[in-house]
Amino acid sequence: MYNFFRFPRFRELEEPLSILELVNTDTLNLRLAGLLWLIMEQRSSVIVAARPGFAGKTTTLNVLLDFLPPNVNQVYLQGDYENFSFTEGAVPADTYMVAEEFNTYMNYIWGDTAITAFNLLPKGYGMGGTIHCGTPREVVYLFHHYLGLSLDLISHIDAVVTIRVDWEQRYGYEPLRQIDSVSLLVPAEEAISLHMLAVRPPEKKEIQFAGSDRIREAFTSKYDVTYDDIEHEISVREKYLEQLMIDLRLSHRDVREAVLEFYNSSAT
């Protein structure tokens, strides 16, 4: 781990955190960051879930958004006040909706607003959001049974990332927050198949990854893309992020600029 600085309290920060600052707090490791980058490179719709409040759901969502391709425009949904006027003239494949939180509380995203947003997904829009759930199955259950969405519609969410909070272990003044699992939601016959790509077993500190064949199969099923060597693709992004850490390019601005440089160099 690269301990270049003491990580300050989440809520004291004005500038958004970066994926590398989360690596420095043991929220995830560089290999998982490389896998998440590859997922978001597909302009994936993603839900970040955790049961307790102050688990870092929004922080994690924001760092994932940094991995979106440069042509993607982010639109933040405004709860009950959202009129979806942004769809007028928008290019669905280039438009990504951001829901701060799916919740009935306050002016978060639920009811008609959430249903309308989900119905835009089959048209090509992307979406990222957070929710209070502990597992991917709970995420599917809540959207299906409480919001009334069909499983087919829910399957347009591509990935679910869950977070574990350990109140006994602390990093500075904060409890230890760690990404607990990463899974892809793949439509099946009248169901949703959960492809678990990474999971942190309760008795182990380190997150465990599915085999290369399993990860490649999940990507092929979900995105209809085939990587001859998916481990190489993950490794390229992992090493790129590692070099940023060595170069002390750790801030949100630094990482986002570096990601854009990566995409531009790949395009040329």
pLDDT digits (tens, 9 = 90+) for 40-68: 999 999 999 998 888 899 999 999 999 99
Question: Which candidate, 65, 56, 102, places its Cα nearest to that of 82?
Answer: 102
> What percent of the chain has a predicted confidence (pLDDT) above 70?
93
Question: What is the distance between the alpha carbons of residues 113 and 58, in angstroms, rounded to a whole number?
Answer: 19
Residue type, 253: R
Q: What's the pLDDT at 84? A: 97
H/E stretch holding 99? strand 95-102
Mean pLDDT of 213-217: 94
Asked whether residue 218 carries a pLDDT value surpassing 80, the answer given is yes
Q: Mean pLDDT in the chain?
A: 90
Q: Are 40 and 46 in contact (CB under 8 A)?
A: yes
Q: Are 34 and 237 in contact (CB under 8 A)?
A: yes
Q: What's the pLDDT at 225? A: 86
Q: For the ranges 73-87, 127-141, 194-208, which has the lowest average pLDDT?
A: 194-208
Q: What's the pLDDT at 28? A: 95
User: What's the pLDDT tens digit per position in 145-173?
Assistant: 999 999 999 999 999 999 998 877 666 67
User: What's the pLDDT tens digit per position in 12-37?
Assistant: 446 789 999 999 999 999 999 999 99
Classify 14-267 by CATH class. Answer: alpha beta
Q: What's the pLDDT at 54? A: 83
Q: Are 19 and 63 in contact (CB under 8 A)?
A: yes
More confident residue, 234 or 166: 234
User: What's the pLDDT tens digit per position in 180-213?
Assistant: 999 999 988 888 999 999 999 887 778 999 999 9
Q: What's the pLDDT at 7? A: 34
- The ranges assigned to domains in the chain are 14-267
Residue type, 41: E
Mean pLDDT of 69-95: 95
Report CA-CA distances (Å) from 224 to 40, 88, 157, 220, 268.
15, 29, 15, 5, 24
Q: Are 37 and 219 in contact (CB under 8 A)?
A: no
Question: What is the distance between the alpha carbons of residues 110 and 194, in angstroms, rounded to a whole number?
Answer: 24
Q: Is the pTM of this model over 0.85?
A: yes
Asked whether residue 2 carries a pLDDT value surpassing 70, the answer given is no
Buried b (16+ CB within 10 A) or exposed e, 256-267: bebbeebeeeee
